[in-house]
Amino acid sequence: MSLSLGYYGDTAMKKIPGGGVGGGYDVPNGVDIRGRYDEEFAKILTKDALMFVAELQREFRNHVRYAMECRKEAKMRYNSGGLPGFDPATRHVREGDWVCAEVPPAVADRRVEITGPVERKMIINALNSGAKVFMADFEDALSPTWENLMRGQVNLKDAVNGTISFQDKARNRVYKLNDQTAKLFVRPRGWHLPESHIFIDGEPAIGCLVDFGLYFYHNHAAFRKAQGQGYGPFFYLPKMENSREARIWNNVFERAENMAGIEKGSIRATVLIETLPAVFQMDEILYELRDHSVGLNCGRWDYIFSYVKTFQAHPDRLLPDRVLVGMGQHFMRSYSDLLIRTCHRRGVHAMGGMAAQIPIRDDPAANKAALELVKKDKLREVRAGHDGTWAAHPGLIPPIMEVFNNNMDDKPNLIKTMKREDAANITEEDLLQIPRGVRTMEGLRLNTRVGIQYLAAWLTGTGSVPLYNLMEDAATAEISRVQNWQWLKYGVELDGDGLGVRVGTELFGKVVEEEMARIEREVGSEKFKKGMYKEACKIFSRQCTAPVLDDFLTLNAYNHIVVHHPRGPSKL
């Protein structure tokens, strides 16, 4: 059976004939490369590597399709009033006395992890940052253009080989790796995203299998020798909703280990718990990946997005302003506590999440305040029992490292010492409790301003940006989009600032117009004209007012960044 074309949700994917059309690349039968030819990319898109990706796609496409169908069914249940919860059918897994394979020595200590897109200079800076781990991102922090994806693969190959360098001509500076570098993890895209520059048997490739397959194929041997002490490569796995999706990854890993002729359990991955349904599946996800797991991570931003998305048809569960939905909210604290308890019971890391604050160069007082917020957040994490956490910027590594060093008693992790048995009593009600707080006009304005600017950056190939002194990426932008959608859908009253107005399309139109004018003032008219702000505004406004909520903004906007060569821009 072949992959259904409805598979990628609302994105219309036109089927093209199969049969090994390379666009300059030497491709195996059934593979068609429609992205630009580049000599450097050709070193990644080798016939053997593409054959491996094609084999993964052929073996797993039906499983992925089924998993996506199950997501749709779950959505229908939630949209008809159902709530996510623990699955009675897998009680034996939650109650069973099993543990995951032992943590590999190379990654026993992960107290501070830096993340960033697979951009050349940032990879070098991140590996040199002093963090224990660098998560190189094909996901939230990357706009998945062909150029970004393929350059990202080239960069990672050079990084694993230790030969990566970058020359900043303007600053007369050459970037190279230090002797001591962070351990590399790679985050492929989620299961839902296609790669429309590569067709396999006439259908777009599954994005994450392209990211994983090409990276694994080219780097497994060098990685295990240089970085993994016999283990690896290491991965982060995003946006899963159910353990059946983790099972597919486990099978992909086994398939890759077989191909490479390495021991089962060599590849290790940390799963982000960043969807509301997945919080009820943490044991089950670890169980599926028990030979390949190195823990779970609190992907807090996508988790908030997922809360809104899951409850899109529940007007009694509206969120307050985005800035008020922090880790102090009961549902967020319960999620982090249960994740720690679950991971430590199963013998693996419980990783904390990303504080959105970044250093503020031109305002020392604001910088100090931002730093204090980050430290407070990290202190809460380590005291709760998280074994490590994420940093968005190299400037945050020393203060975060200090917080963790001061609270870990010289141990590499807290797996054995912070069992958090108290969290065993966390209930479905705790995990679903409605967040408290007000809804304001400023909240609506900020969502709009941030959403449009993020999309404008994403459309031009940048997947993470500093906006108003915070890190914004696909996950944080999603919150802005779905919150606006929800407030519009239910005509929410904005009473937090005493205005008492209801959100409707007329008000939203006015807000969009005023915020666009503000953006133009802030970025300057030249940058505004040259940028993609108008296009972004159109897409964002449509997404916020759509009668049916789009599943992902990146999926909905994906066709805008697909560029086929030599046949011109995509008509997909």
Ligand X SMILES: CC(=O)SCCNC(=O)CCNC(=O)[C@H](O)C(C)(C)COP(=O)(O)OP(=O)(O)OC[C@H]1O[C@@H](n2cnc3c(N)ncnc32)[C@H](O)[C@@H]1OP(=O)(O)O
Task: Return the number of the residue (34 or 309) whose C-beta is nearest Mg ion.
Answer: 309
For residue 118, which of 90, 79, 150, 89 has the smallest C-alpha distance?
A: 150
Footprint of ligand X (CB under 6 A): 114-116, 121-122, 125-126, 137, 140-141, 301, 354, 358-359, 392-394, 464-466, 471, 473, 475
Q: CB 528 → ligand X: shortest distance, Å?
A: 19
Strand runs labelled E in 148-288: 165-168, 173-176, 183-187, 194-200, 203-206, 234-237, 268-273
For residue 419, which of 353, 327, 336, 347 has the smallest C-alpha distance?
A: 347
Local structure of 399: helix, strand or coil: helix
For residues 181 and 9, what is the distance between their CA atoms, to the nearest angstrom?
A: 40
Measured CA distances, 387 to 375, 408, 414, 420, 437 (Å) = 15, 8, 5, 13, 30
For residue 484, which of 450, 528, 437, 513 has the smallest C-alpha distance?
A: 450
Q: Candidates 195, 203, 283, 302: give the one binding ligand O=CC(=O)O (CB under 6 A).
A: 302
Query: Quick one: tokens of 518?
Result: 């503000």
Task: Return the number of the residue (440 or 447) whose C-beta is nearest ligand X.
Answer: 447
**Sites for ligand O=CC(=O)O among residues 470-499 (CB under 6 A):** 475
Applying CB under 6 A, which part among 297-305, 306-314, 375-383, 439-447 lies near ligand O=CC(=O)O?
297-305
Parallel/antiparallel/unpaired status of strands 133-137 and 183-187? parallel
Q: CB 498 → ligand X: shortest distance, Å?
A: 32
The alpha helices in 261-299, defined as continuous H runs, are 276-279, 282-288
Q: Going residue by residue from 263 to 302, which x/- string records binding to Mg ion, judged by CB under 5 A?
A: -----------x------------------------x--x
- Is 187 known to be catalytic? yes
Q: Residue 464 touches which of ligand O=CC(=O)O, Mg ion, ligand X, none (CB < 5 to 8 A by kind)? A: ligand X
> Helix, strand, coil shares of the chain as percentages rounded to 5?
50, 15, 35
Q: Does 321 bind ligand O=CC(=O)O (CB under 6 A)?
A: no
* Per-position b or e across 359-392, b if 16+ CB within 10 A of its CB: bbeeeeeebeebbeebbebbebbbebbbbbbbbb
The helix (H) or strand (E) run that includes residue 467 is: strand 465-467
Q: Does 352 bind ligand O=CC(=O)O (CB under 6 A)?
A: no
Q: Residue 456 touches which of Mg ion, ligand O=CC(=O)O, ligand X, none (CB < 5 to 8 A by kind)? A: none
Catalytic residue among 32, 137, 473, 550: 473
Strand runs labelled E in 316-459: 350-354, 388-391
Q: CB 475 → ligand X: shortest distance, Å?
A: 4
Q: CB 259 → Mg ion: shortest distance, Å?
A: 28
**DSSP assignment of 246-266, as one string?**
HHHHHHHHHHHHHHHT--TT-
Q: CB 140 → ligand O=CC(=O)O: shortest distance, Å?
A: 5
Site for ligand O=CC(=O)O (CB under 6 A): how many residues? Answer: 10
Q: CB 253 → ligand X: shortest distance, Å?
A: 22
User: HSE (CB half, 13 Å, CA atoms) of 66?
Assistant: 10
For residues 128 and 166, what is the distance between their CA atoms, to the nearest angstrom?
A: 13
Measured CA distances, 336 to 180, 181, 269, 305, 330 (Å) = 31, 29, 19, 16, 10
Q: CB 236 → Mg ion: shortest distance, Å?
A: 9
Catalytic residue among 71, 120, 187, 345: 187
**Sites for Mg ion among residues 348-407 (CB under 5 A):** none
For residues 72 and 7, what is the distance between their CA atoms, to the nearest angstrom?
A: 10
CB-CB contact of 400 with 374 (8 Å)? yes
CB-CB contact of 179 with 55 (8 Å)? no
Q: Does 113 bind ligand O=CC(=O)O (CB under 6 A)?
A: no
Q: Does 140 bind Mg ion (CB under 5 A)?
A: yes
Q: Does 301 bind ligand O=CC(=O)O (CB under 6 A)?
A: yes
Q: CB 137 → ligand O=CC(=O)O: shortest distance, Å?
A: 8
Task: Return the number of the residue (371 or 471) whose C-beta is nearest Mg ion.
Answer: 471
Q: Does 354 bind ligand O=CC(=O)O (CB under 6 A)?
A: yes
Q: Does 257 bind ligand O=CC(=O)O (CB under 6 A)?
A: no
**Sites for ligand O=CC(=O)O among residues 270-289 (CB under 6 A):** 272, 274
Task: Return the number of the residue (96 or 466) whose C-beta is nearest Mg ion.
Answer: 466
Q: Does 377 bind ligand O=CC(=O)O (CB under 6 A)?
A: no
Q: By CB under 6 A, name the binding residues for ligand O=CC(=O)O.
A: 140, 272, 274, 299-302, 353-354, 475
Active-site residue set? 187, 473
Q: By CB under 5 A, name the binding residues for Mg ion.
A: 140, 274, 299, 302, 475
